[in-house]
Amino acid sequence: MDIFIELSILIGITVLIAGIMRLLKQPLIIGYILTGIIVSPYFLNIVRSTETMAVFSQIGVALLLFIVGLSLSPKVIREVGKVSVVTGIGQIIFTSLIGFFISRLLGFSVIVSVYIAIALTFSSTIIIMKLLSDKKDLEKLYGKISIGFLLVQDIFVIVLLLVISSFSGKLTMTSLTIGTVLGGLLLIVVLILISIYILPSLSKFFAKSQEFLFLFSIGWGLCLAALFYHIGFSMEIGALIAGVALSMSPYHYEISSKMRPLRDFFIILFFILLGSQMVFGNISQFIIPAIIFSVFILIGNPLIVMTLMGLLGYNKKTGFQAGLTVAQISEFSLILVALGVKVGHLSIEILSLVTIVGLITIAGSTYLISYSDKIYPYLSKYLSIFEREKLRKDAKDKFKAYDIILFGCNRVGYDFLKIFKKMKKKFLVIDYDPELISELTKKKINCRYGDIDDTEFLDELNLNEVKMAVSTIPSFETSLLLINKIKQINKKAIMIVISHDIEETETLYDAGATYVITPHFLGAHHASMMINKHRLNFNKFLKEKKKHLKQLKTKKRLGHKHPKPEKHR
């Protein structure tokens, strides 16, 4: 069959299966793998040009890792915070150790068990980002923590691929040549120096032409992938490091957005080829291991994360929602095992096993994450064991009467604190970030650890005596819950909430909000008021500039960041 016709048929079938996945609200990656199974020799037997497909799939993997590298700036560890680093590393250690012992108990060899254990530790950053974005939870505490420890996993991938790609044949420490490792490390150091001192200037030149920037990006990524492959490493690690080298470029977001459509096309072929190469001859012997590994990922991984976050002082709901984001294995798990097959460490049957685990866990976790808010109330009373005893005790304590209660103190809430102090009124800060609560306690500001979405917690507040309630939490559902709760017992209380959507703002006003802050419109309104006040007086605008810069420096020192605007779809 002609390669063009074969490819056209594959894409047509993929579109059909992907459409079904969309209706079932599943990630399209499942549709790609299922397409591969359908066109495999076991069913339609369409894939004949396996060598060409293998080349295309390698390009897809290289582009995927290149784009991942673009998001891994050296500053990322500092940005994700302590909880993400601790939780990310802790989850990797415990998941891999438990996964290894499960594999050994199931009769797998040491080398196979190591690969399976490590494959079980990775969660899909792409899928989680998409699900959290759809739920509008990227700015929630658990969303930020989840993205943070997923980035920690991605960094771990870099080191892991570097090590594995240094081996060939049997996996022994003696097979790791010192020369290869030193050569790789020297090349990485050179690339770091180039990325700091040379690439920023070059990228300005390339950015003058969008087509040239696109061409340079492809050339840089694929050429470095080929270079690393030539010196004895895998092309995967080369592509990843190529992305990291460009991550400090001011144009890395633009490069990433331009490369995604190309990546998506070729990575589709990788997953189709992966599905088509699955071995079903001995599938019966892998059914039990696949179920056991899937249950461990769907239940065990969230329990590990909940335990770690509980020890760090986070409440059970934050731990529960963050835990669900690791209840699947990722595309990197499949790439890792595929690399193991390529270098001769694993058989194709093990790749089939891990792929089945991937299909089960990705499908299951998608529903768990999407409906976590509805699942949580049923499990809430059983999850208290994951909270520190002190937190549970504090949550049960009765609160004093306060004139003002501020819900959420990060970023926007900081400005309210200064005003409340000037008013000389009794005020209380409620937040569910234990690190923030610790900072406020040191400053002797009345504060309590709590989650506004917990109705039992709200019942314990003296809301009937509060004169003003201010919420800086952008969640529409949370704002609506708070308004309704206060409205029932204290109709005279001033209720100020925040919203980023006009229709939701109108709904909040209808529900009883006294004032709804709309940041995007408020900024323009403030600027227009300044123009009306200062007219064309240059010096007065300079004073406003100095005040604004001073405020921004304070915000930066406190670690506050402006949320990134969503891209138009």
Token pair belonging to 468: 């003003």
Q: Six-digit token pair at 286?
A: 């892998």
What tens digit of pLDDT does each residue of 511-560 get? 999 999 888 777 776 777 788 888 778 888 888 888 877 877 776 666 65
Does residue 254 contact residue 207 with C-beta atoms inside 8 Å? yes
Backbone angles phi, psi at 472, to 5 degrees: -105, 15
Residue 127 and residue 27 in contact, taking contact as beta carbons nearer than 8 Å: yes
- List the one residue out of 73, 41, 411 whose CA is nearest residue 256: 73
The per-residue pLDDT for 476 is 87
What residue ranges of the chain have pLDDT lower than 50? 168-176, 392, 395-397, 565-569
Instruction: Compute, in degrees rounded to 10, the torsion defined by CA atoms 13, 19, 362, 319.
Output: 160
Q: Angle at Cα 301 formed by Cα 159 and Cα 454, nearest 5°? A: 125
pLDDT of residue 257: 83
The first and second tokens of residue 315, run together, are: 């409440």
Q: What local confidence, expressed as pLDDT, does residue 175 receive?
A: 46
Q: Which two tokens stand for residue 120?
A: 């079980």
- Predicted local distance difference test score (pLDDT) of residue 178: 59
Are 317 and 309 spatial neighbours (Cβ–Cβ below 8 Å)? no
pLDDT given for residue 109 in this prediction: 93
Backbone angles phi, psi at 498, to 5 degrees: -125, 145
In the block, tokens 């529409």 appear at 476
d(CA 467, CA 381): 32
Token couple for 445: 């500001």
SS3 assignment for 276-301: HCCCCCCCHHHHHHHHHHHHHHHHHH
What angle is formed at CA 479 by the lines to CA 311 and CA 83, rounded to 5 degrees?
Answer: 20
Q: In terms of DSSP H, where are the helices of 312-344?
A: 316-324, 331-342
Q: Map out the domains of the chain with their CATH numbers.
A: 3-382 (1.20.1530.20), 398-517 (3.40.50.720)
pLDDT of residue 522: 75
